[in-house]
Amino acid sequence: MNSSRQQRIIEHFRRSIHSYDDGAKVQKLVGDTLIAKMAALGDIRYDRVLEIGCCTGSMTETLCRMKSVRELWVNDLVPECCYQAAERVGAVAGDIRLLAGDIERLAIPDGLDLIISSSTFQWLKDLPLAFNKFTTSLHDNGFLAFTMFGPGTMRQVRELIGVGLEYTSEGDLAEMLKRNFSLVEIETSCCTLYFQNAREVLRHIQATGVGGAGAYHWTPGKLRVFERDYRLQFGTEKGVPLDYVSTCVIARKGQSVR
């Protein structure tokens, strides 16, 4: 990842730590969905677990309250998030180890039962290479379980100002994974939030740290145009919408027989 872009992302998420849990309604929803789907599978072990992109530890806590995790590594690009997640699950997890930094560059532990992540992989620079790396760290029949945002996420903002992430489709994800994994489940869903006006959309984005996705220089004039065009192009009786599209994946190490 470009160092200046990475630093911008770190700063945006660092500033949003205290507002994240209140603002990240969709992230909480898709994380809870992932945990529920995993709970329905009886053959996942939880002795050695790595969570990538732990953020404030919301999903970390849900996981550790659902299952007894003996060894837990919590990773995030923002070190403060690792500290907060570890503190949040200190009473319900076993041995907790902090792994702050860029997961694409960090050495990660071997012999893992599970690598889990929610709303993070869309930030990775080289997803196929990351999947290969995760494969080597999982034991035979270990699991990779994650959600990530996909094409259509925040499309309204992208259409108006041309800023946003390059998202991976469900089909492309499946192609990448089948090289080293057998897909247990892959499902894409859409969620739309509604706000009173476009300025509230921007506040929501800022509160969840996603403003680091791209550089955009706001001026009072640009903001007025953005508010006007957002209302005219996307306004509804419910307010102005913001779309999220998320893919939920559970995969077992080992090539698919399909």
Phi/psi for 39 (5° steps) reads -60, -30
Confidence of residue 30 (pLDDT cuts 50, 70, 90): very high
| Residue 236 DSSP code | B
Pairing of strands 138-149, 240-253: antiparallel
Conformational region of residue 141, where left means phi above 0, alpha means psi within -120 to 50, and beta covers everything else: left
Quick one: pLDDT at residue 211? 52
Residue 95 domain-assigned? yes
pLDDT on residue 5? 64
- As a whole-number percent, the residues of the chain with pLDDT over 70 amount to 93
pLDDT at 43: 85
Higher per-residue confidence, 217 vs 96: 96
Residue 161 lies in a domain: no
pLDDT tens digit sequence for 143-183: 999 999 999 999 999 999 988 888 999 999 999 999 999 99
The CA-based angle 179-183-185, given to 5 degrees, is 155
- Domain at 183, CATH number: 3.40.50.150
Q: Is the pLDDT of residue 85 over 70?
A: yes
Asked whether residue 203 is assigned to any structural domain, the reply reads no
Model-level pTM? 0.92
Specify whether the CB–CB gap between 151 and 245 falls below 8 A.
Answer: yes
Residue 45 placed within a domain = yes
Residue 191 token pair: 């969620």
pLDDT at 256 over 90: no
Whether 221 is covered by a domain: the verdict is: no
The candidate with the shortest Cα–Cα distance to 216, out of 173, 147, 139, 164, is 164
Count of positions (residues) in the chain: 258
Q: Which domain holds residue 101?
A: 3-150+166-190+245-253
Residue 218 lies in a domain: no
> Which residues fall within 8 angstroms of residue 32, CB to CB, at 6 or more apart?
59, 62
Residue 156 lies in a domain: no
- Is residue 143 domain-resident? yes
Number of domains in the chain: 1
